[in-house]
Structure formats: C-alpha cells, structure tokens
Amino acid sequence: MLKKTLIVILFIISANVVFAQTYLISAGGTVTTCAGDFYDSGGDIGTYSSDEDYMMTFCSDNAVNTHVRLYFWEFSIEPSDTLYIYNGPDDTSPLIGAYNNTNSLALHAVIATAANPSGCLTAKFQSNSTSNTDGWKAEIACIPCCQQVIANISPTTNPPAVYDPNDHCSYIDICQGDDITFVGTGDYPENDIIYHQEDGTSTFDWDFGDGTIETGQTINHHYDLVRGYDVTLTVTDVNGCVSTNFIALRVRISSSPLGNINPLPDICSGTNLDINVGYDPNSTVVVNPIGSHQSASQGFDSTMFVPDGPYCPEQCYNTDVEFNAFAPGQTITSVDDILSICVNMEHSFIGDLEFTIICPNGQSVVLKEYIQSGGAFMGEPNENDGSDCDPSDNPPGIGWNYCWSEIYPTIGTINDHASQSTLDSTNTINNTGYYDPHAGFSGLIGCPLNGVWSIEICDYWGIDNGYIFSWDLNLDPNLLPTGWGYDIPIDQIDWDGPFITDQQDSIITVSPDYGGIFDYTVYLTDAFGCSYDTTISLNVVQSPVVDLGNDTSICGNGVIILDAGPNPGGTYLWSTGDVIQTISIDSTGIYSVVAENTNGNLTCSDGDTVSFVINPDPEVNFIAKPATGCEPLFLKFYDMSSVETGTIVGWDWDFGDGNTSITNNPFNLYELNGNYDVSLTVTTDAGCSQSLTIPQMIHVYKNPVAAFSINPSTTTIYNPGIFFSSSSIDADSCFWNFGDGSFANNCGNVFHQYQDTGSYLVTLDVYENGFGCHDSTSRTVIIGPAFTFYIPNAFTPNFDGFNETFYGRGTNIAKYEMKIFDRWGSMIFKTTDLEKGWDGKTDKDIEIKEGLYIYLIKITDSFNRKHTYRGRVTLVK
C-alpha cells in the first residue's frame, strides 16, 4: 500500500492549515511545529526496518493552539512491533496507548490532553527482527487546550449498527426505501478538568456520505440511491473542541433482486413442471445479484445494427449507459477524469462515420469526425452487406476494439489512419493503440457524473452497413465517493401456490390435477432481512383422461358400452369414425379412441385401445347309468356337452347329496335313499359357462338290513335246539338257511333243532319287495359236546390213601395251568399237568403246614374258549 494514497473524508477542525513538512521517526529529537506529516523510518513509499528503537517528540509552536494532535491516515504495524504514544514530552509521561495491527490507529487521532500542560506528544517505536510492513502516515496539527471528546453512535440508533471485527467497522443494513434514525453521543473522559462537557451543550455534525450534511444529535435520514455510504459524525463541545476519533460506520442498502420473469409454458394437467428462481437468465424468475459495487466504468453490451444512413429512416443511432454511483452533483472537473471511451464494432469505409459522446446535461464532444473519405475497415465487416435497412439481410461480421483516451498512449486520431485498409484495434490489456478524440475531452468538463451518457454514431454515406457490439465509458475510480462494495446473499426462498409436489430451495415442481390458470408466488428474503416477492401465472390445459378398461370378452350374444370419459369442450375420435364420448360394440374387434383438448397454444390428448371378443356359450348335457337303484347306489356320469368353437376345460358337478366333482365323467356313491337333483356347469377355454340341472334325476331306494341273533348266544352250542331271532330293518320278507339243508320263511323268531354235532353256516336273506332291494348276513353255529370242570375245596395229604392231592376234574380240556399261593401272595406251587395235582408240598418238595391257600386255574377248552377259576382250598393233615 502506498502511503500517498488519499482517503477523502470530511473532518471539521479549528487548526490553522500550513504547508506540510515530512518528519521521520528515525530522525529522533523534539520537533516544535503545528504542521507536517509524521512517518515511520521508511518514509512515504518504504517500510520500516528490523530492530528499530526510535523516539520523537512533537510540541506546539502556537500560543493559542497549544496542544498537538496526530491524525493517522494510514497505519500498518506487525503485531510483534509496537508504536507507543505518551501524553507528554518524553517516555516517562503517561502512556496513552500501545498500537499495532491488533490495536490499530488507522483513521484515528491522538491528542495531548488537558491534563498535559506541555501539550506535547511523544512517539516511541520498537521493532524486532521479523518481517516489517508499511508503517504509518500521520498528519501533525495543533489545537487549543481541549478536554478530550470521543464521538459515538448511540445504541438507540434505529436500526442499530452492528460491528464487524473483520472490517473494524460497524454497519447499518436497510431495505430500499427505509429511513434511518441516527443518534449520536459523546464520551468526555476529561470532563470538568478545565470546563464542563455534556451532549446537551455539544454540537453533532453528520456527513451521511450522499452529499448531505446535517447538524443535530438525532437525525432521521433517507437515502435515495441503492449503494454503500460512509457516515461521519463529528462532535464539538462547548469550548469548540472537536472529537478526535474517526467513526467507522457504513450504511448498506438492499434492493430488489427480482429481474426478468420468463413466461411459463402452457402445460397439460397431470404433467410436472419445474419453476425456479436463480441467477441464470434462463431461470423462470431471474435474480439479479444483490449488492453494490461502485464502478467508474459502465458499458452497453447489446448488439446494435448501424445501417446506411442516407437510405434508411435515420442516419444517427444512439446507445446509452447510466451512472449512479457518484455523489449527487459531482461533475467532470478535468479531462483526466475520463480514462477512455471504447467501442467494439465492425464497419467498412471508416470515412462514412461520425462518433459523438453526449453527457447527461447535453454537453457533447466529437470523437471521430465525418470526412467523406477514408476506406479503412473497422474490425472484420461482412462485405456482403446490402444497402437496405433490414438486419436479416445484413449478417454481422467480427468486431474489434477502438478506444479514445487522453490518459493512455495514443497514435493520433482515427481519421489520421483512414487511408489504411484496416483500422488497427486498440489493445485494452496493455493500454496501447488508443486514438485521440477529435475535439478533446475538455468539452465535457462540467458534465454531471451521474445520469445517462450516450454515444451517437452517424452514417453519412451509402452502400455499406455495420454493427456495434458494445461500448464502455471508463471514468477515474478516484472519483467514487467510497472504495468498497458489498454483496447481499439470499437467505431464504419460499413458494406459495397450488399443486406443489416438491420443493428444493430455489426450485419447485408443480403437478396440477386439473386445468385452469394458477398463480405461483416466490418470496425472497436476503441477509438484511429484506423481503421481495413476485407472482407468475401458469396456464394449465385440462388433459383428457381416457380409460377404456381392460380387454373384454363376453359369452354368447351381447353388447358392450365403451366410454372415453368426460372431456368438456374437447373432441373425440374413435377407430370406428365416431366422434362422441360413448359407443356401443357388438362384434369382436380392436377399438381405440383419442380425446383432445386445446387452448389454442397447446393441445393435450390421451387415448386408449381395448380388445373386444364375443365367445360362444357351450351346450351342456349329461346322463347317468343307471339312474335308479338301491342304496348304496354307485353311479357313473357321462358328460355329453359340446361347444361350437373352443374347448370345454372345466366341469362342476353337484350330485345333490353334498358330493361334487370337477372331472368330466365322474363316479358318485349315493349312500342314502331319496330322490336327487343333479346339476352340471361346464366352462370353455374362453371362460364361457352354461349350467344344466335335472330335478330328481337319481332315485335311490331304501335297502333292507339283514341281522339276527342266536339264543343261546354262544357260538358253540351244546343244546341242538336253537332259537334264531331276526332283527332286520326294512325287510318285507326273510329267508333262512340253517346250513343243514333246512330252510324257513319268517321275519320273526325261528326255532331249529340240529340232529348232529358239527359246524353249520346260518344265512338270512331279506328283501324289500317293491324294488327288489336285498341284504344278507351269515353266522357259523357249532353244535358240540359240553365243557365241564369241578374243583374241591379241601384235601388231606396225610398218607392215608384218601384225598391226598388237590386238582380239578372236567371234560373237553385242551390246555391247563394251576398255581398255588400262600396267604401272603407268594406262589408255592405250579403245574400244567391236569393229572399231577398239588400234594401239599412246595415246588422244592418241602412240606407245608395245614391251613387255607389260594388257587388260580386257567383252562382253554376244546373249542378254544378261555376259562379262569380263582378260589380257596383248605389243607388238612
């Protein structure tokens, strides 16, 4: 940073102004002066050095303005280096402060206070061996012996100022059109040392940065232009002493970011459309960057056709640029204020043209004069240009840059080079090849900086055409009131409208269900809290919705109604040629329809296709053989059904007794008598069905049940005379066969006498006389000798030859087993020999004493019947 850079600030002081002298701290000593510039050891353009340790004292030479003030225009000291300032003639005086880039003095003043009778300030600088920076530049001035005044912005300022530590500055951010209530206050750290200070006796002078200066502690101010402003407050106390600090306060104004709105295309209902807001010019709602970057250059960047003047309605064409970044009333004061005027264009025969720059108040300067000669081409013109005024017949060529300047090196006027074949272009990167303006820029002195500037191009000769693609007016940036700018990001985007199905910040997707005109509003809120909105309309054409349903098949003869659905105001076209909503179909075929609806700009359509098939019904028929019989009746059914075309693939039988079948020729067993309805449903491979029911087709008659009993009921009978009793059910007649050649016809009790022993099969046949239903049952009767068995209750094994053993005696015994147990249940004897018997001894031939014993005898007789005997026997000796 060069220390000679000037920062323009309005500062009200009461000191006398003298020509400045330069003082470097490295010179040391005491300087008695009230004017001059105080630098680090590097002076105006250098940096200070390492390991410095210098001290310099400044004292006033004025009897009235007795106290020194140092105002620091520039300040850059490494944090490891320090500038100390003492309130007195040497470094033993009270320390006012220690300063470097962590405690900067930039745009701040340090004064000798009222507590310092010498009025002197002592500066002491120390640096280390690390990196060095630019140092400082301070203005030396003398003021009356004043108590210190510090200007502050009151917290009651509305909206409040917010401090940004990165910029060491406070900002008030407002929306365009808002007012600010500025409230100032003073701080008086030396109050009442010499005199009394307070806000009520002080004067508050405001410079709002827009050319407006007002006095008052509370001021309501309105800014007309959208840009940034530096605000300065100077507080002067009752003794005329002025605040020495600089208030770093900036005002930033937001403006609407809403730019061009690209119309939404018409859409059909049921479709999706993305609506977005963004910086891209193709966005639905185009957003302009929000902020203020003051520029001393403005340009026109749209292509403009410059046709032949003599043969077209006009000979001169103007394009404009507009400035609003300068202070109100600010004017061109020197030709050096205009850096350059540049055009990018193509044209043949430069002699035909004249260029004029016109400023906002109408003052003008000719840049290039019409001279009726000169064949030099500008850029690369299209030599096939016609002589008419229609740009479609005159395609553009390639433009080159041509600039006029009185700052950069020039090569003469354009007319000086008019005899060349091609006019040399200006190098705007290296700033060479500029042209002198024909009349110079002095004619523009006094022109307002803000406003519309125009460049006028006149074509005074025929046959050739050209194009201007852009032009720029570049003024001196030092003319700008501030050297900073800002951008304001958009913090929040909100949408409102119907049928929004998705939202992702700046993009919404809408899916209207039906036709109509729908409004969508986007709300933008920027980082300053300023809100803006705009609404865009969407024209939705109602889309027809056609659904003819699934492909359809019917059986037999029939009619189906095809409905394309409602389409108010729309049209229909069927494959049959019909143009109505519904049609009747009675024949096999493929049918389609297209429905359309239009608003003149967009046609929405929908269609559908459906197949219609008529299938023949089957003819159902069946028989059963036999159809009549006795229960249980087992029948086979025969399907006799047929179909004209196709195949029967399904059978559904109902036999009337609760049984069903899905086979074509099934069997069924009727277990109960009765009359049964039989039905059959057959289905073809096309799904067509027919049913047939034959009422009481099956007749099942009651079947008698043959049953009889024998008395006695045992199988083997020892008495040859037997009673047979029939217990048959539903029997009208009964026939007996006794198995010995004898017969009987009786459904009641029958007595039969067998003559011989033996085995006889007895059969009973019963009949239901009405339909000949029959049942039979048989049993075997054995006539044989009787089984007998006798068991004594005591015996005497005393060796007297009588009743010595215990055993039973009987007839028709095939198998025998006897066990003897004592009173405690222990078995003491066992035999399977009927003739052996128990002799009163155990199996181990041990005699036992007399008493009561238990026997268990098991016998199988000759007829394989089982007999068991359990009892008591007394042993007596």
Q: pLDDT band for 392, please (50, 70, 90 cuts).
A: confident
The strand ranges marked E within 482-588 are 486-487, 490-496, 500-504, 507-510, 516-526, 531-541, 552-555, 560-563, 571-574, 582-585
Element housing 473 (H / E): strand 466-475
Looking at the fold, whether 187 and 283 belong to one and the same domain comes out as no
Tokens representing 183 are 């409230």
In CATH, what number is assigned to the domain containing residue 654? 2.60.40.10
In CATH, what number is assigned to the domain containing residue 796? 2.60.40
Q: What is the pLDDT of residue 19?
A: 46
The count of domains in the chain is 8
Looking at the fold, whether 658 and 697 belong to one and the same domain comes out as yes
Three-state secondary structure call for residue 477: helix
Looking at the fold, whether 459 and 311 belong to one and the same domain comes out as yes
Higher pLDDT among residues 135 and 148, named by residue: 135
Q: What is the pLDDT of residue 242?
A: 85
Tokens representing 653 are 């039988």
Higher pLDDT among residues 785 and 51, named by residue: 51
Domain end position, chosen among 648, 670, 701? 701
Looking at the fold, whether 242 and 260 belong to one and the same domain comes out as no
Q: What is the pLDDT of residue 387?
A: 60
How confident is the model over 564-577, as pLDDT tens digits?
A: 999 998 999 999 99
Tokens representing 736 are 């007996």
In a domain, 320, yes or no: yes
Q: pLDDT band for 494, please (50, 70, 90 cuts).
A: very high
List, in order, residues 6 or more apart from 139 with CB less than 8 Å away: 20, 36, 37, 38, 70, 71, 73
Q: What is the pLDDT of residue 248?
A: 81
pLDDT beyond 50 at 12: no
How confident is the model over 443-483, as pLDDT tens digits?
A: 999 999 888 999 998 888 777 778 888 888 898 888 877 66
Q: pLDDT band for 556, please (50, 70, 90 cuts).
A: confident
Q: What is the pLDDT of residue 17?
A: 37
Taking the C-alpha atoms of residue 395 and residue 386, their distance in angstroms, rounded to an integer, is 9
- Find out whether 295 and 472 touch, Cβ atoms under 8 Å: no
Looking at the fold, whether 770 and 756 belong to one and the same domain comes out as yes
Amino acid residing at 677: D
Kindly report the average pLDDT of the chain as a whole number: 89
Q: What is the pLDDT of residue 210?
A: 84
Q: Which strands sit side by side in the sheet containing 273-278, from one edge to the other? A: 258-261, 285-287, 273-278, 507-510, 500-504
How confident is the model over 618-649, as pLDDT tens digits?
A: 999 999 988 898 988 999 999 999 998 889 99
Instruction: Please provide the DSSP assignment of 100-140 as one string.
Output: STTS--TTEEEE--TT-TT--EEEEEE--SS----EEEEEE
pLDDT beyond 90 at 341: yes
Look at the pTM and tell me if it is higher than 0.85.
no
Q: What is the pLDDT of residue 76?
A: 93
How confident is the model over 750-776, as pLDDT tens digits?
A: 988 888 878 889 999 999 877 889 999
In a domain, 687, yes or no: yes
Q: Which of 819, 821, 822, 815 is nearest to 807 (CA)?
A: 819
Range of the domain at 566: 554-591+606-614
Mean pLDDT, rounded, for 498-508: 93
Taking the C-alpha atoms of residue 147 and residue 32, their distance in angstroms, rounded to an integer, is 21
Backbone angles phi, psi at 292, to 5 degrees: -145, 120
Q: What is the pLDDT of residue 179?
A: 96
- Find out whether 120 and 91 touch, Cβ atoms under 8 Å: no
Domain end position, chosen among 783, 811, 845? 783
Looking at the fold, whether 122 and 267 belong to one and the same domain comes out as no
Amino acid residing at 826: S
How confident is the model over 300-328, as pLDDT tens digits?
A: 667 888 877 677 777 788 888 887 777 77
Looking at the fold, whether 434 and 471 belong to one and the same domain comes out as yes
Mean pLDDT, rounded, for 809-820: 90
In a domain, 597, yes or no: no
pLDDT beyond 90 at 694: yes
List, in order, residues 6 or more apart from 79 with CB less than 8 Å away: 100, 101, 102
